[in-house]
Structure 1
């Protein structure tokens, strides 16, 4: 798998949620802060405002996409002057989304704004540093002809939510995963193209040498990588490669490799029935004992107990 696909696969937990909402004026809805989640708002029709604590209100227009990667609370409203009257909605709670969707009344006369809202559950124990690198708010304004794949995904999602049919329950989660990948891809491309990304993942994934090393790690994390073999993948000598990787990503290559192996192992423990020895081998360890020790140093808990649902210490 490529790096971005791996990031989403390893972090996702539970089932993503989404709803189509039609708002009659005046309206304002608060969306609760939900640690361990990421949320989005997409404007399909009409204008509105996104109001977040300690930030200036952001005007939104039809076609705009807003992504909140760290699950911070916010309000969507027809005007910054309109105050929410009902309870805050937890976008990870399907019952809360259903109540809000019912309250908006479908598409009655007087509706001026239609939005899609949604959320992804993320495992805080497996948060990838790429996500830590993202700002509080990613705003992708609508531009005719730009990002056609992203716009096509939005159109498909909107259609499935407005007119559910046979297979919709399977299609929507797949579209939501596709949507988050397109949002992140678009932000990474634009951030890198702007020239403002001097370090971090936006720069690293567009740097041929660092990107080649990351692809090698993610393609085969069990391989006995060394700085020298990763440098060969990157097409650099050992010392310049190590300096470049560390400068861009804030951690040395083997530190990232170990972190990724443990994170992958944690996902496999929770999401598969593979024997411990198999997971140890996939994490690059020839001994279950060595793997268990490394896992406990990372998570503060033995692999077997983690698999049974034990919390981190």
Structure 2
């Protein structure tokens, strides 16, 4: 399993039923920050999105976007219009369709919910706003997904709720891919593990970590596997990912071990052994250092909120 699939498998990604938003004329809305992420796709027209203190970005037909958790944002056609809070506008929603003054702009979007105990694995490497233009590398797949989403949203049929949920998740992953490719192409550092996956050698090292994550890797072993010297690999990994190789590996392994503790009935000793620890005490110390609580407390449910914070 590749690193992105690994992380998504821990996040229990779910999407709410997308809302179709139609607007016309001069309008502006404000939204509170959402703790997970929101994805949107512009089916017709264009408007501006301003997330937090960032400069507004024009989104047009065929574009997709992602808004990272917790940051308030604005959507508008005219920056001079006094914005209305979204809660007021949403009162006009009928059958998952919101009409506000016309249909010059049509957007389909909604929240993507993540398992908050592990959400930081993804949210920490995403900027507040991700824009996937219609001409991006993922355009072909995104356009096909958009056409399907638009058809299901405009004329729901049998199984539409299940289908739109899956299509929304496909769009979410395609936006992540578009961001990873764009970030690596612009040479952003540190871009987090998501953009580092596009680096031939650092990406290969990340895949090794995720494919054989119970192994007690050393920096020298990872460097040798990808054809680099130990020092060059360590420096380049830190620059690309934002943390040292073994720090990244430890964080990933403890989050994965936490999933085992919550989802299986295996003993703590068995989980420790599965993740390469010869003793329960050594595993417990490492787990508490990363997750903030002991494995026993995490399994009892007291660790999810702590880990999310």
Question: Could you say which TM-score interval applies, normalised by the shorter chain?
Answer: 0.7 to 0.9
Give 1:43's aligned residue. 42
How does the TM-score come out when normalised to structure 1? 0.83
Give 1:197's aligned residue. 188
- Spell out, residue by residue over 1:18-38, the C-alpha distance to the aligned partner (whole angstroms, 9 max, x if none): 222222445433321123x11
Give 1:162's aligned residue. 154
Q: Return the match for 1:221 from 196, 213, 228.
A: 213
Deviation at 1:183, TM superposition (A): 0.5
**2:75 counterpart SS class:** strand
**5+ long unaligned stretches in structure 2:** none
Q: Return the match for 1:304 from 288, 293, 296.
A: 296
Residues 27 and 249 of structure 1, relative CA distance in 2, 3 Å threshold? same
**1:49 counterpart SS class:** strand
Does structure 2 conserve the Cα–Cα contact (< 8 Å) formed by 1:11 and 1:128?
Answer: no
Give 1:149's aligned residue. 141
Residues 108 and 303 of structure 1, relative CA distance in 2, 3 Å threshold? closer
Does structure 1 conserve the Cα–Cα contact (< 8 Å) formed by 2:20 and 2:97?
Answer: no
Give 2:67's aligned residue. 68
Deviation at 1:156, TM superposition (A): 2.2
- 2: CA distance, partners of 1:49 / 1:238: 46
Deviates more, 1:131-140 or 1:204-213: 131-140
Deviation at 1:15, TM superposition (A): 4.8
Give 2:7's aligned residue. 7
Describe how 1:20-31 pairs up with structure 2 within 5 A: 20-31=20-31
Does structure 2 conserve the Cα–Cα contact (< 8 Å) formed by 1:39 and 1:71?
Answer: no
Give 1:276's aligned residue. 268
Give 2:250's aligned residue. 258
**1:66 counterpart SS class:** strand
Deviation at 1:161, TM superposition (A): 2.6
**2:84 counterpart SS class:** coil
Deviation at 1:106, TM superposition (A): 5.9
Residue 236, structure 1, aligned to residue 228, structure 2: yes
- 2: CA distance, partners of 1:267 / 1:100: 40
Q: CA RMSD in A?
A: 3.1
Residues 286 and 16 of structure 1, relative CA distance in 2, 3 Å threshold? farther
- 2: CA distance, partners of 1:53 / 1:64: 20
How does the TM-score come out when normalised to structure 2? 0.84
Does structure 2 conserve the Cα–Cα contact (< 8 Å) formed by 1:280 and 1:286?
Answer: yes
Deviation at 1:147, TM superposition (A): 2.0
Q: Return the match for 2:165 from 141, 158, 173.
A: 173
Deviation at 1:105, TM superposition (A): 5.4
Aligned length: 304
Does structure 1 conserve the Cα–Cα contact (< 8 Å) formed by 2:31 and 2:85?
Answer: no
**5+ long unaligned stretches in structure 1:** 90-95
